[in-house]
């Protein structure tokens, strides 16, 4: 056990997924008391058991963040109570990813993606950030995506929802930063859901500096950094954990022309 987050409390949404689970485990390993939330109670219980077996402190709350303000407020209230009256760190990780092309996207799908990926974290942040600001400290971490800035010919809906979340990061940094609340985004690249197994879409990492999909632990390490005092001067930033996907192209043969 380390202590970079000792004495801190954290709420991680979408914690039954690979990235959310990795973040919850990493936070607990660094000394935080963690509330993990998600829709699958069985997987949530397994995550809590794993964290506790490693000496950490965690609990799980079932939550379907459907985009309604009521669902977000309910989770905020339950998590705050479970964590002894305060949430020091909020990770807005829960999200969905339909990958259809634009013409094949139904209105119902559009509404659901923006409800889960944008409305839910908006109202969860609205319910939690003011108390952070009143205390004069806190950290909010949003999970974006590399496709918000490097366009691909599928998934326009998902990409636009993650672009909206990056914009909210900057807006919330301006709104809550002066009161001591740091708001930042982590933008993962193509990640492996299971360690040492190929990831769907791994081919998209061809031509990048890393060349392969990344481990969930890399995103978790970035989240620990942004949640810790080490990032005390980091506001409104999008931290790319993407193997260089949006920043560099590796050209075979070593040159042009």
Give me the active site residues, please: 158
Tokens, residue 195: 């360690």
Distance CA 188, CA 20 (A): 12
Residue 89 and residue 181 in contact, taking contact as beta carbons nearer than 8 Å: no
**Dihedral of the alpha carbons of 20, 22, 23, 24, in degrees to the nearest 10:** 90
CA-to-CA dists, residue 69 to 18, 66, 116, 130, 163, angstroms: 26, 9, 11, 15, 21
Stretch (H or E) spanning 88:
none
Query: How many CA within 13 A on the CB side of residue 22?
Result: 18
Place of tokens 């990409």: 159
Q: What is the strand order of the sheet 181-188 is part of?
A: 57-62, 33-38, 9-12, 89-92, 138-143, 181-188, 238-241
Compute and round to an integer the Cα radius of gyration of the chain: 18
Tokens, residue 11: 């709420």
Tokens, residue 117: 């990926």
């Amino acid at each position: 056990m380390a202590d970079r987050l000792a004495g801190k409390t954290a709420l991680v949404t979408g914690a039954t997924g690979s990235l959310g689970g990795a973040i919850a485990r990493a936070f607990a390993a660094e000394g935080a008391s963690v509330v993990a939330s998600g829709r699958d109670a069985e997987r949530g219980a397994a995550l809590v058991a794993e964290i506790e077996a490693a000496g950490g402190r965690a609990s799980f709350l079932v939550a379907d963040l459907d985009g309604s303000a009521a669902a977000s407020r309910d989770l905020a209230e339950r998590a705050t109570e479970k964590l002894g009256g305060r949430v020091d760190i909020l990770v807005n990780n829960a999200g969905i990813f339909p990958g259809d092309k634009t013409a094949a996207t139904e209105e119902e799908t559009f509404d659901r993606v923006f409800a889960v990926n944008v409305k839910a974290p908006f109202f969860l942040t609205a319910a939690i950030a003011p108390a952070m600001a009143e205390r004069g400290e806190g950290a909010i971490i949003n999970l974006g995506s590399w496709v918000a800035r490097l366009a691909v010919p599928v998934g326009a809906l998902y990409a636009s929802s993650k672009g909206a979340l990056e914009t909210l990061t900057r807006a919330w940094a301006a709104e809550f930063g002066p009161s001591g609340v740091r708001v930042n985004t982590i933008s993962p690249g193509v990640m492996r859901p299971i360690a040492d197994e190929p990831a769907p879409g791994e081919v998209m990492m061809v031509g990048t500096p890393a060349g392969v999909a990344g481990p969930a632990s890399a995103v978790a390490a970035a989240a620990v950094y942004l949640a810790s005092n080490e990032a005390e001067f980091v506001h409104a930033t999008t931290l790319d954990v993407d193997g260089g996907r949006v920043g560099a192209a590796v050209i075979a043969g070593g040159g042009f022309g």
